[in-house]
Amino acid sequence: MEKTFLMVKPDGVQRNLIGEIVGRFENKGFQLVGAKLMQIPTELAEQHYGEHKERPFFGELVDFITSGPVFAMVWEGENVISTARLMMGATNPKDSAPGTVRGDFAVTVGKNIIHGSDSPESAEREIGLFFNQEELVSYSKSSNDWIN
C-alpha cells in the first residue's frame, strides 16, 4: 500500500492542531503507521528541504522548522500521497481552499502548518530521513474492509 510522510510543523504543534490534523486523515480513511514528536536537528532540516537550498527563504525555512517540536508521521492508503496534498491545500494559504488544512488554519506561506511529500520519490526519501524501518508498524484494521 502507498505511504507518505506528513508532518505537523512547529506552528501547528504550538497551536494545538496535532489532534485536529490526525483526525482529518483518520476520518478520511487513511491509516497511521508511524508517528513521533521530535525536535528536528539543523542537519536533518537542511537535508529534508535540500531542494530549496538555493531559494532566498532557505535559511528562514530551516530556522522555522527547527524552532520547536514537530509531529512527524507516516500514513498509508490508496493514493495517499496525492490525496494528502489535496487535503493540505495550496502551499500559500492565501490560495488554499477552505476545507483544507492550510485553508482553514493558516494565513501566511512561512507558517503553513503542515508538510506532505509531493511525489512517490520524495515520500520514500522523506520517510527514510525521519523513520527507521522498526518505527513503522504494519497492521490491518477491520474498518479497512469498508474503505478500500
With CB under 6 A as the contact rule, the residue among 18, 61, 129, 136 that binds ligand GTP is 61
CA dist., res. 52 & res. 54, Å (int): 6
Question: Could you say whether residue 53 binds ligand GTP (CB under 6 A)?
Answer: no
Q: Out of 60, 63, 78, 121, which residue is the one contacting ligand GTP (CB under 6 A)? A: 60
Instruction: Give me the amino acid identity at 56.
Output: P
- Restricted to residues 62-121, the positions that interact with ligand GTP (CB under 6 A) are 91, 109-110, 112, 115-116, 118
HSE-CB at 65 with a 13 A cutoff on CA atoms is: 21
Nearest approach in angstroms of CB 12 to ligand GTP is 11
Which amino acid appears at position 23 of this protein? G
Nearer to ligand GTP, 52 or 94 (CB): 52
Read off the amino acid at residue 134. E
Strands 114-116 and 3-8: antiparallel
Q: Of these residues, 3, 115, 117, 131, which one is catalytic?
A: 115
Least distance from C-beta 141 to ligand GTP, angstroms?
Answer: 27
Name which of 49 and 144 has its Cβ closer to ligand GTP. Answer: 49
Cα dihedral 146, 101, 33, 16, rounded to 10, equals -120
Q: How far is the CB of 144 from ligand GTP (least distance, A)?
A: 26
Residues 6+ apart with CB under 8 A from 121: none
Is 85 annotated among the ligand-binding residues? yes
109, 52 Cβ separation under 8 angstroms? no
From CA 14, how far away is CA 9, in angstroms rounded? 9
Contact residues toward ligand GTP (CB under 6 A) are 52, 57, 60-61, 91, 109-110, 112, 115-116, 118
Binding site as annotated, residues? 9, 57, 85, 91, 102, 112
Residues labelled as active-site residues: 115
